[in-house]
Copies of this chain bind each other. A is one copy, B any other.
Amino acid sequence: MGDVARLAGVSPTTVSFVLNDVAGSGIPENTRRRVRASARELRYRPNATARLLRTDRSHTIGFVTDEIASTPFAGDVIKGAQEAAWEAGKLLTIVNTGDNQGIEESAVGMMLERRVEGIIHAAMYHRAVEPPADSREVPAVLLNCYAEDGSWPSVVPDEVAGGRTATEALLSRGHERVGFINLRPGLPAAAGRLQGYKRALEARGLPFDDSLVWNGEGTAKSGYRLAAELMRAQDPPTAIFCGNDQTAMGVYEALKERGLRIPEDVAVVGFDNQELIAVQLRPALSTVALPHHEMGRWAVEYLIDRAAHGETAPRRHTIACPYVGRESV
């Protein structure tokens, strides 16, 4: 910067003012041009580190995730977060902890040392977590997870509404016996979706029949097995709501083996909207999308907002799961 100043025949102060477009600095266009030309000539690149040391604004957000790969998840969340960050002029520093507490703590430590302006703790599967206490030193938010005691702000999918949406999609087409192959019990996703399923039934005055509801593993294999189970009943369902798209994949298989057509004989709706599966299945699977991208965006925007406007009570934000209609209903 000194070099630029010298070349332009001005002081470092002036260079700083010009290059940062400081308002009201009253530098004439003439000088500005000279400064900019010098900067270009010297291929001057400002040192963000020095600036940060002085201003204490890192323009960086930390993103800590338990597992990043091989998943319905991750990609979209990061992308959403990244987009929102970029729009706000921030960069994202990411670490994948492999669900290792020790790594998570050091990761937070390293981020804090670098003076990140906020930290996002993201989980692969919707669940309860307890992030390192140190994260409270900056604005922090949980993504796709929540604190049991509600002491951390969080953003999660609205599983209940999602379950209801999925069920509704079926009921609204006239189905009255809707089977439900849920995920493993105990998961927030499973609990929420079941509740949504019940509410949808209730809203239509339909009875809840627990012989129609099974808990699977969330795999194609268990979907296959349980669909067979379901269809073996004397009064089998005319539609099946699957706890995730992989389950639906197995359900398709079981249905087809029995010579049942989708959606004519049995309608199917999935959950998660894993494009890789839902789009490729024949017929293409109608499903409910998890708001990964939106959660990513929301988390970053929340952090930026909090950094700007200060502390508020930890909120628990919920984002809707939109229905994605394709051909299986």
Contact = CB atoms under 8 A, between A and B. Distances in A.
Q: What number of copies of this chain does the assembly contain? A: 2
30 contacts: A47-B53, A48-B114, A49-B49, A49-B53, A53-B53, A68-B78, A68-B79, A68-B82, A70-B276, A71-B75, A74-B74, A78-B78, A82-B95, A86-B95, A86-B103, A91-B95, A91-B114, A92-B94, A93-B93, A93-B94, A94-B94, A220-B280, A220-B282, A221-B282, A246-B276, A253-B282, A256-B256, A274-B276, A277-B277, A277-B280
Nearest to A69: B75
Given A48-B115, A69-B293, A277-B277, 15 more contacts: A45-B109, A47-B115, A49-B49, A49-B52, A49-B114, A53-B53, A68-B78, A68-B79, A78-B94, A82-B96, A86-B95, A92-B95, A93-B94, A220-B279, A220-B281
Interface string A66-89: 001111101110110011001000
Given A78-B94, A93-B92, A280-B246, A113 B48 contact: yes
Interface residues of A, number: 55
Contacts of A280: 219-221, 246, 249-250, 277
A224 B281 CA distance: 11
B70 A275 contact: yes
A75 B76 contact: no
A290 to B, nearest CB: 12
Contacts of A46: 113
A60 B224 contact: no
A110 interface: yes
Nearest to A60: B93
A109 B224 CA distance: 51
Interface string A85-129: 010000111111000000100000111111100000000000000
Interface string A40-65: 00000111111011000010100000
Contacts of A86: 95, 103
